[in-house]
Amino acid sequence: MIGGRNTFRILTGFALLLLLSATLSYLTLFSGTVGLSLSDVFYGDGSVLNRIFWDLRVPRLVAAVLAGISLAVSGLSLQTLFRNPLAGPFVLGISSGASLGVALSLLAGFSFGHFGVLTSAAAGAFAVTFLVMLVSNRFRNSTVLLIVGLLVGYFIDALVNLLIVGSDAEALKVFVSWGMGSFCRLTFDGIWIFAVAVTVGCVLIGVSIRYLNAIRMGEDFAKGLGVNVRLYKNLVLFGASLLAASSTAFCGPVAFVGIAVPHLAFMLFKTGNHRLLLPGSALCGAVLCLAAGLFTMVPLNAILSLVGVPVVLLVISRGRGARG
């Protein structure tokens, strides 16, 4: 009977998320300042409304979905890996590292199109991830890990400010616009790069599901099950960093999705099995970002903070967090 209730809860949760995703996707494509219809899309070839749909609405939809998936999956995998409910790409400084890479690309002139920006963001994210991994191996206290992440974030902000001082007005304008976070900057030229990066990151974490399920009980337990802890730990870190870097490169620093969404998914599905929790978190992230993206006149991170801050406070109030 209990198993039946759990199955019903899981199926209902996925059905609800899919329904919300479809509804929000439709609203993203056809509602807004300029209302569109199917006839405008399929029979208005070359018209202004047709171009609004394909050049603005479709990339915005793809950006919201991919950003939600990438940050949610990255956050869940990092929280599980470090066994800390407050871990995430933003808190651990990984997103800040990606931001530094983007700053070097946009402000220092080391840009080679979308691929160049993504490469710079990935390099910054991997550098911070390597530092976090060294700290996690030396200090088992998760609080120390979070403090190091915050310090890294402040240090990187200082470096970015130094880059800003010596930048020209045009480059600075582009960087400031990017730094506000938005799903509206992705173009068709960048969609395939963003999609490939997210796919690779998700695959790396997807093949590590058995490790993620085992590591919740500790490394010794995982080794006892015959899991290659070192290999899969590196795969998860690489995948989480790539996901955070790709989202940061194309959408700017998007806050709270990585830390809050995994807990929302757990509250909905009530399971620690990552075979269910990973796709559940991905869908929750996509739904949240699609909903936030509808408010185009409001800063993106302001909307996400309204959801993320209460979730984080709830996690802190529960001591060990929602998945504790």
Q: Is residue 45 part of a domain?
A: no
Please state the domain count of the chain.
1
Whether 112 has a pLDDT exceeding 60, the answer reads: no
- 271 is in which domain, residue-wise? 60-317
Q: Is residue 267 part of a domain?
A: yes
The C-alpha R_g of the chain, in whole angstroms, comes to 20
pLDDT single digits (tens) 271-317: 989 999 999 999 999 999 999 999 888 889 889 999 889 988 888 78
pLDDT for res 2: 47
Burial class (CB in 10 A: 0-12, 13-18, 19+), 266: buried
pLDDT single digits (tens) 33-91: 777 877 767 766 667 888 888 888 999 999 999 999 999 999 999 999 988 888 889 88
Q: Is residue 7 part of a domain?
A: no
Highest mean pLDDT among 14-18, 138-142, 227-231: 14-18
Return the HEC string of 103-161: HHHHHCCCCCHHHHHHHHHHHHHHHHHHHHHHHHHHCCCHHHHHHHHHHHHHHHHHHHH
Minimal CA–CA distance to 197: which of 164, 156, 160, 238? Answer: 238
Minimal CA–CA distance to 126: which of 240, 255, 48? Answer: 240
Q: Which two tokens stand for residue 210?
A: 């058995």
pLDDT single digits (tens) 236-283: 999 999 999 999 999 999 989 999 999 999 999 989 899 999 999 999
pLDDT single digits (tens) 173-196: 888 888 888 999 888 888 999 999
Q: What angle do CA 256, 28, 279 make, to 5 degrees?
A: 50
Q: Is residue 202 part of a domain?
A: yes
Rounded Cα gap, residues 309 and 304, in angstroms: 8
Minimal CA–CA distance to 289: which of 257, 260, 264? Answer: 257
Burial class (CB in 10 A: 0-12, 13-18, 19+), 176: exposed
Q: Is residue 190 part of a domain?
A: yes
Question: The domain that contains 173 carries what CATH number?
Answer: 1.10.3470.10
H or E stretch at 216: none
Whole-number average pLDDT of the chain:
87
Q: What spatial distance separates the first Cα and last Cα of the chain, rounded to whole Å?
A: 25
pLDDT for res 294: 92
Q: How much of the chain exceeds pLDDT 90, in percent? A: 47
Burial class (CB in 10 A: 0-12, 13-18, 19+), 135: middle
Q: Ramachandran region of residue 68, left (φ > 0), alpha (ψ -120 to 50) or beta?
A: alpha
Q: Is residue 301 part of a domain?
A: yes
Tell me the C-alpha to C-alpha distance, in Å, between residue 173 and each of 37, 169, 170.
Answer: 35, 6, 5
Q: Is residue 36 part of a domain?
A: no
pLDDT for res 319: 59
Whether 321 has a pLDDT exceeding 90, the answer reads: no
Q: Which residue has the tokens 């185009």?
A: 296
Burial class (CB in 10 A: 0-12, 13-18, 19+), 120: buried
Is-contact 75 261, C-beta < 8 A?
yes
Rounded Cα gap, residues 159 and 108, in angstroms: 12
Q: Per-residue pLDDT averaged across 198-207, rounded?
A: 97
Q: Is residue 12 part of a domain?
A: no
